Chains A and B, each alone.
Chain A
Amino acid sequence: MIAFRGINKSFGTVHALGPLDLEVPAGQTCVLIGPSGCGKSTLLRLFLGLLHPDAGEIVLDGRALGRGRSDEFRCKTGYVIQDGGLFPHLTARDNVELMAKHRGLPSQTIGRRLEELSALVKLPEPWLDRYPAQLSGGQRQRVGLMRALFLDPDVLLLDEPLGALDPMHRYDLQDDLKNIFSRLKKTVLLVTHDLSEAHFFADRIVLLRDGTIVQEGTLRDFMDRPADEFVTRFVLAQRPMINAGGTA
């Protein structure tokens, strides 16, 4: 389980996040949604220790994230950003194996894991010898996912993982991602600005605005019992997509 308790974060005089409390039970997928600048990415970066909260605590399986603890959290977390976040000077394989090699894992173990993951994300191994610049956006994202999953983390953080993809690739990868989430039983925190995508993945959707939670629940809750006018407007703005998708 991961928990954010009493989080506050400002950048200089600009208030970014808080006060905010959020819990995600182990094995659940929680989707953070909201307009740009609402603080959803900031929350992920706080969890990874890339930023430090001004107040509050972040807890993973009962242990609080302290200033010196970032590495412990990072080991148990896979992080995927838009376009995969691959290092352009390394082949896909080197990107994926980077941490395993850094930790000195035996090459047999690495090879086996690579096979498993390549099957899991549906990216045939020969593609792994290519450089990021030689892969399509969807392939890059699959490689990014392999890298995030390589050390079998408990938590997956995905920051707009499908944001840079064209609709076809996006559709395929959405399906594959959802399968992976349910199969691996990871605790997932996914950021998107697309309500239909949020609905597709989420056990629970959390709508953020100006750094605080406006409402959490399912898409049905948002539509039937909106917490305020903003929720109604946010849902309405994306309704055509939802209707077309037929998901609500």
Chain B
Amino acid sequence: MRLLLAMAVCGSTLFAQGATVRVGSKTFTESVILGEILTQLVRHEGVEVEHRRALGGTRILWNALVRGEIDLYPEYTGTIGEEILGGRVPMSGLDSALAAFGVGVSRPLGFNNTYAIGVRAPVADSLGLRTISGLQRHPDLVVGFTNEFMDRADGWPSLRRTYELRPARVFGLDHDVAYRAIASGDIHVTDLYSTDAEIGYYGLRVLEDDRRLFPDYHAVVLYRLALRKTAPAVRHAVEQLEGNIDERTMIRMNAQVKLDRMTEEQVASEYIESGLGLKTKVESGTFRTRLLHNTLAHLWLVLVALSGAIVIAVPLGVWAFRHPNAGAVILSAVGIVQTVPSLALLVFMIPLLGIGFAPAVAALFLYSLLPIVRNTHAGLSDIPPPLRESAEALGLSAGARLRKIELPMASRMILAGIKTSAVITVGTATLGALIGAGGYGQPILTGIRLDSVPLILEGAVPAALLAIGAQYLFEWSERWIVPKGLRLKPEA
């Protein structure tokens, strides 16, 4: 108990959210770079700031902003108009429409990163493709769009309608994977952001939007209006960027990260120095500090979720055993939770608990329940009925039977359930990074985004080691937890 309290204190300082300004960014490089520039500028103003990088798509960022879980993030006017405000507000009315949500918008930062449709140059040349409407004649081309583009109103649905496209095969995938897929020839057509560094790198041809479908996507910064009071310096930091990043600069910065393998922190710092003439502190950290930070965050996620699961699941298992009717309901309920894909479970938590640590722990907690509940129930059910009756016939009360006889006899099973949960949780917790909970998933996600195997390994290897470690720890702890009498082989 004291240990748990100590962990709670250390955890709350680790994830303190006091008066710190929180900058958010979406899960693509440009957004992370802009988020990093904003972060460094705010820090330069002397304000305590934290970059919650690569949190997710528009919905997640926007909801987090409205709920006050982040204070500002880079966005695009087209996305605000179409996706956030549902296309009902003219561009000139954005200011007042957003103010209704307690959100302010900066003036444009200077570049337009619109959606574009790209085809590999050799394919475009051989088919004579120049415009998007030209795709009508080639329904056999394999189309791979980013998941967000597939879903959003101004994405694939309106593209298909406007251009009357009927491709034979369309599927959704991650933005960074899409580039590798088009380079390898697995897909022929994909959506691009017009400032993507890869357009040049992979030799892609941008098809002309000949029916003028895509609106302008001028980069802006959305911020909580409350900041004007609580942290007025933030507004100043944002103003410095307005009109100061042109398309060439943005493409160059994207290329520095994606092609030259510089960190977003370095690129942001260089831009601030050359573009704005300011010196900022770069806090990228060494491999060791990153590893330590990720390990702590990961362990903390697992420990909190698993302790919570043990505290709830063991009594649930006992209850399920004592009341077979309710027990059937409990067992199938936790079973159903387990069938929800872990990623979906994480995302379901966002509307309830927002982003970050809390929803990740909640999802992991729910995920850990089944093995422990099921094994507690099975462990108790496995006790031979004559022994259960012997305990009762001795005159032990139900509580004493549970403490002295039943739980100790079921301990090996229960421990095995906890071990299974621990290993599952260590693995699943890597997904927590998707909703801003940090941990080993952070370098994995960044590694996928930047196509960097070393970064992926920086998360994947320790996560695997931690899972193996958890396994050994529980096997070793058997000798302390499972009574000796149960570990003996019966003498013939």
Contact = CB atoms under 8 A, between A and B. Distances in A.
B412 to A, nearest CB: 10
Contact of B394 (A74, A88, A131, A136): A74
B396 A131 contact: no
Contact of A99 (B395, B409, B484): B395
B485 A102 contact: no
Interface stretch (A2-10, A77-85, A111-119, A173-181): A77-85
What is the interface residue range for chain B against chain A? 20 to 34
A89 B408 contact: yes
Contact of B396 (A82, A99, A136): A99
B457 interface: no
A82 B485 contact: no
A22 interface: no
Given A102-B400, A131-B485, A87 B405 contact: yes
B485 A132 contact: yes
**B396, B400, B409, B485, most chain A CB atoms within 10 A:** B485
Interface string A188-230: 0000000000000000000000000000000000000000000
A134 B387 contact: no
- Most A CB within 10 A of own CB, among B395, B396, B400: B395
A74 B490 CA distance: 30
A102 B396 contact: yes
Contacts of A184: none
B386 A81 contact: yes
Given A133-B489, A133-B490, A74 B395 contact: yes
A55 interface: no
A145 interface: no
Interface in B471-492: 483-486, 488-491
Contact of B395 (A71, A85, A88): A71
A98 B395 contact: no
Nearest to A48: B393
A91 interface: yes
Interface in B381-435: 386-387, 389-396, 400, 404-405, 408-409, 411
Contacts of A1: none
Nearest to A51: B389
Given A85-B386, A134-B491, A74 B393 contact: yes
A170 interface: no
Given A71-B395, A99-B395, A133-B491, A89 B390 contact: no
A244 interface: no
Contacts of B396: 98-99, 102
A87 B395 contact: no
A88 B409 CA distance: 8
B485 A90 contact: yes
Given A88-B409, A131-B485, A133-B490, 17 more contacts: A74-B393, A75-B395, A77-B393, A81-B386, A81-B390, A85-B386, A85-B389, A87-B387, A87-B405, A87-B409, A87-B485, A88-B485, A90-B483, A99-B395, A131-B484, A133-B489, A136-B491
5 residue pairs, one from A and one from B, having the closest CB atoms: A89-B483, A85-B390, A131-B485, A74-B395, A133-B488
Interface of A: 45, 48, 50, 71, 74-75, 77, 79, 81-82, 85, 87-91, 98-99, 102, 131-136, 147
Interface of B: 386-387, 389-396, 400, 404-405, 408-409, 411, 483-486, 488-491
